[in-house]
Amino acid sequence: MSDIVVTPSVQIDSAESTATHCPYCALQCGIQLSGSREQIKLVGNKHFPVNKGSLCIKGWNASATLTHSERLLSPLIRSSNGELEPASWDDALAFVAQRFHVIQQQHGKDAVGMFGGGSLTNEKAYLLGKFARVALETSNVDYNGRFCMSSAATASQMAFGLDRGLPFPIEDIAYTDMVLLVGSNIAETMPPLLHYFGEQHRNGGQLILVDPRASLTSNQATLHLKLTPGTDAVLANGILHILIRDGLINHQYIDQRTEDFSRVKAVAATYWPERVERITGIPEALIVRVAHMLGRARSAMILTARGTEQQSQGVNNVLAYINIALALGLVGRPLSGYGCITGQGNGQGGREHGQKADQLPGYRKITDPGARQHIANVWGIPEQAIPLAGKSAYEMLDTAGKDGGIRALMVMGSNVVVSSPNASHIQERLKALDLLVVADFFLSETAQMADVVFPSAQWAEEEGTMTNLEGRVLKRERVLEPPLGVRTDYDLLCSLAACMGKGQFFTYADTQQIFDELRRASAGGIADYSGITYEKIEANQGVFWPCVAEDHAGTPRLFLDRFPTPSGRARFHAVQHRQPFEAPDTAYPLYLTTGRILAQYQSGTQTRRVPRLNEVASEPFVELHPSTAHRFMIAPGESVRLTTRRGSAVFTAKVTPSIREDTIFVPFHWGGEQSINRLTSPALDPISRMPEFKLCAVRIERCEVTMEA
């Protein structure tokens, strides 16, 4: 009994409390809110299946942002003296509309860009995409999900013809025999999710973790493979090699449900254990053991996360792991399959409804004529009026202020100055803009650079739907009125459209009407929401897409009998190991990898303003191995300077044997001088355009040393 899971049961009379969802990660834990803004009471929702009442420290303290003193309570316009000064909504709106107009006249429609985020509700994501294409008529619209999910998303598309974080409900994890978890530290990023692994363990299941770093998660794992950063594809191919060698693959499944295995098999022949050991740094015997554990399990899941995805080979890495899942015949089988642990609150929904440069609502390709026509009809505009695919996030930001690039940018729900790679460069680019507009509820690092800032309503102050990592569509409730002077982003986009003379396309009485339009737009698409209604969500604790009709129950488990590909089969993709963009050398002798910690979230715009969270984690640190510390003469707690080809920053040394000797780790939740992303590599994955956050070459030295030098 020592390890039964106990969930808090602070009693709230559900009559006076509202069931809604945590504003943070993609689990979207159910919570119950009650009381006034000042004495708001927040507890976990025992009845919500995903978290069954559990919350992590972020969730428990979520309400702190609602009353925070630093909240923006009125629009701001940068005055002649260079200061951001309060302005009325009407003035701010008119100003922005007029500037957009002028800039587009001088430099063309594409000169104005929209930048969204993976935390926005489905309705917002949809509206933002429509605003860009219909009101601004620009092709330059993208979102920070590029920095997050895109590799897994792309790989899933290629392999299965569909991208939904998990193809099964989260409960299934508790009953599967074996989980291979790659590049994830859920114990810190999504603690409540770990319940399911605990339960799986108690049911006799096992967890294998792949991560260069030991973490709170690896403590839970049966096996932990500390692989060399950037060698995931080699490991995956090596595992496949052994599965083939020892006759553990599922030929029947491969014949009946997949295509293109032969090439993958041939490539696997070149990843024999000795070679794989040499590249990945994982002992031969261990690789064989893992292969056998996976191959002999009755049911197994392979789950990937940012660790393997945020690389210039991100898509390849994921494909290589998917190859294993397919060769073992896991995908579409009970309690088995491949899944991606989506990170951002609405990382899933955010990438489905058209805030991506190459995509239209319903996960439609913007290049597909049929899709364009369908959306054009829903929007009531001619098909050719819909712009073509624009530039991806980093590339768009990179063109800021350049000829043919964007001259104006509107950012919503994202703190790009902190979260984008090569951040200091991006900061420079944003300075070169003629106009930067930011909508946020705090004066984030990005907002501080803006010419106009709009104060946004927060999670508990507006309603809308979110789609969690399971593809479960949830309803977030409006529990409080926004403070005086604050409006919802829906409001902002619609009024701005009106000021630009496009009001007739943005007439909604309430959020539900936006959602209903989204449903029509998504109808027949891959992510089909047409059968989902607010009522249905509330009645069923969420609905899994695709849901094609109001009498359709939704789809908790995917791929049971066919894949949404032309042939109906899943596709193997041969993957060769390629060197990362930067490997350690004499000048920059170590790998730098970045990641998340429990008490902070993403760029920290919200969490860094929550006192309880800052007590727990107030500043970033650099994690390094004792013998590495010794090698560079660094003592614990000393401040050290990290230098890459892009820049340098100072952090406090945290010496721990939990990390590889050749790798150092820094969390990325902080801005300004402490922003590690000023150092990370801008290399992009050729297919998903995912930046290589997870590794680059770095030099580390004690600060005194650099002073002298």
Q: Indicate the SS3 state at residue 507.
A: coil
341 binds other proteins (CB under 8 A): no
When the beta carbons of 278 and 296 are compared against other proteins, the nearer one is 278
| Closest CB 574 distance from other proteins, rounded Å | 10
Burial class (CB in 10 A: 0-12, 13-18, 19+), 510: exposed
244 binds other proteins (CB under 8 A): yes
Q: Which of 696, 695, 697, 699 is nearest to 709 (CA)?
A: 699
Beta-ladder partners of 595: 667
User: What DSSP letter does each residue of 48-110 carry, written as one string?
Assistant: -TTTTT---HHHHTGGGGTT-TT---S-EEE-TTS-EEE--HHHHHHHHHHHHHHHHHHH-GG
238 binds other proteins (CB under 8 A): no
Strand pairing category for 258-259 and 300-304: unpaired
- CA angle at residue 83 from 81 to 87, to 5 degrees? 110
Residue with tokens 């909240």: 71
205 binds other proteins (CB under 8 A): no
- The answer to whether the CB of 86 falls within 8 A of the CB of 49 is no
Secondary structure of 559-593 in HEC code, one letter for each residue: CCCCCCCCCCCEECCCCCCCCCCCCCCCCCCEEEE
CB under 8 A: which stretch of 528-536, 559-567, 654-662, 685-693 binds other proteins? Answer: 654-662
When the beta carbons of 149 and 629 are compared against other proteins, the nearer one is 629
# residues contacting other proteins (CB under 8 A)? 68
Residue 329, CA distances (Å) to 47, 257, 290 in order: 34, 8, 17
Candidate list 44, 117, 183, 464; residue touching other proteins; CB under 8 A: 44
| Closest CB 703 distance from other proteins, rounded Å | 22
Candidate list 38, 70, 83, 274; residue touching other proteins; CB under 8 A: 274
191 binds other proteins (CB under 8 A): yes
657 binds other proteins (CB under 8 A): yes
Give 457's DSSP letter. Answer: P
601 binds other proteins (CB under 8 A): no
| Closest CB 64 distance from other proteins, rounded Å | 14
When the beta carbons of 112 and 664 are compared against other proteins, the nearer one is 664
User: What DSSP letter does each residue of 215-274 carry, written as one string?
Assistant: -TTGGG-SEEE-PPTT-HHHHHHHHHHHHHHTT-S-HHHHHHHEE-HHHHHHHHTT--HH
Candidate list 40, 216, 389, 548; residue touching other proteins; CB under 8 A: 216
Query: How many residues are listed for the chain in this entry?
Result: 709
When the beta carbons of 467 and 607 are compared against other proteins, the nearer one is 607
When the beta carbons of 44 and 354 are compared against other proteins, the nearer one is 44
589 binds other proteins (CB under 8 A): yes
When the beta carbons of 334 and 626 are compared against other proteins, the nearer one is 626
CB under 8 A: which stretch of 13-21, 105-113, 212-220, 349-357 binds other proteins? Answer: 212-220
Q: Could you say which residues in the range 541-580 bind other proteins, by CB under 8 A?
A: 576
Torsion of CA 226, 228, 231, 237, to 10 degrees: -50
Write out the two tokens for 76: 């701001």
When the beta carbons of 44 and 531 are compared against other proteins, the nearer one is 44
- CA angle at residue 560 from 556 to 565, to 5 degrees? 105
Q: Could you say which residues in the range 247-266 bind other proteins, by CB under 8 A?
A: 247, 262-263, 265-266
Torsion of CA 488, 491, 494, 497, to 10 degrees: -80
- The answer to whether the CB of 109 falls within 8 A of the CB of 502 is no
When the beta carbons of 508 and 632 are compared against other proteins, the nearer one is 632
| Closest CB 197 distance from other proteins, rounded Å | 9
The whole-angstrom separation of Cα 563 and Cα 690 is 25
Candidate list 72, 96, 125, 194; residue touching other proteins; CB under 8 A: 194
| Closest CB 49 distance from other proteins, rounded Å | 16
Write out the two tokens for 27: 């689990």
| Closest CB 563 distance from other proteins, rounded Å | 24
Q: How far apart are the first and last CA of the chain?
A: 59
Residue 491, CA distances (Å) to 127, 137, 162, 379, 533 in order: 10, 19, 32, 18, 22
21 binds other proteins (CB under 8 A): no
CB under 8 A: which stretch of 171-179, 215-223, 507-515, 634-642 binds other proteins? Answer: 215-223
270 binds other proteins (CB under 8 A): yes
402 binds other proteins (CB under 8 A): no
398 binds other proteins (CB under 8 A): no
Helical packing angle, 511-522 and 122-130, nearest 10°: 70
| Closest CB 225 distance from other proteins, rounded Å | 11
Phi-psi region of 301 (alpha: psi -120 to 50; beta: other; left: phi over 0): beta
When the beta carbons of 214 and 335 are compared against other proteins, the nearer one is 214
When the beta carbons of 275 and 702 are compared against other proteins, the nearer one is 275
47 binds other proteins (CB under 8 A): no
219 binds other proteins (CB under 8 A): yes
230 binds other proteins (CB under 8 A): no
| Closest CB 214 distance from other proteins, rounded Å | 6
CB under 8 A: which stretch of 275-283, 351-359, 374-382, 508-516 binds other proteins? Answer: 275-283
3-state helix, strand, coil in the chain (%, to 5): 35, 20, 45
228 binds other proteins (CB under 8 A): yes
Residue with tokens 């650079």: 449
- The answer to whether the CB of 555 falls within 8 A of the CB of 669 is no
Candidate list 118, 165, 212, 281; residue touching other proteins; CB under 8 A: 281
CB under 8 A: which stretch of 32-40, 47-55, 365-373, 474-482 binds other proteins? Answer: 47-55
389 binds other proteins (CB under 8 A): no
**x/- binding map, residues 53-82, to other proteins, per CB under 8 A?**
xxxxx--x----------------------
Residue with tokens 């590029």: 146
Candidate list 4, 15, 707, 709; residue touching other proteins; CB under 8 A: 4
| Closest CB 611 distance from other proteins, rounded Å | 12
| Closest CB 698 distance from other proteins, rounded Å | 15
Candidate list 67, 85, 256, 283; residue touching other proteins; CB under 8 A: 283
Q: Could you say which residues in the range 609-638 bind other proteins, by CB under 8 A?
A: 612, 615-616, 627, 630-631
Sign of the alpha-carbon torsion through 332, 337, 338, 339: positive
Q: Which of 171, 331, 312 is nearest to 694 (CA)?
A: 312
Q: Which residues contact 198 (CB under 8 A, 6 or more apart)?
A: 3, 5, 220
When the beta carbons of 60 and 601 are compared against other proteins, the nearer one is 60
The whole-angstrom separation of Cα 340 and Cα 596 is 17
**x/- binding map, residues 295-334, to other proteins, per CB under 8 A?**
----------------------------------------
| Closest CB 629 distance from other proteins, rounded Å | 11
| Closest CB 191 distance from other proteins, rounded Å | 4
Write out the two tokens for 668: 């990325």
- The answer to whether the CB of 582 falls within 8 A of the CB of 693 is no
Which residues of the shown chain bind other proteins in the complex (CB under 8 A)?
Answer: 1-10, 44, 53-57, 60, 186-188, 191-195, 198, 214, 216, 219-220, 228, 244-245, 247, 262-263, 265-267, 269-270, 272, 274-275, 277-278, 280-286, 576, 584, 589, 598-599, 612, 615-616, 627, 630-631, 657-658, 661-662
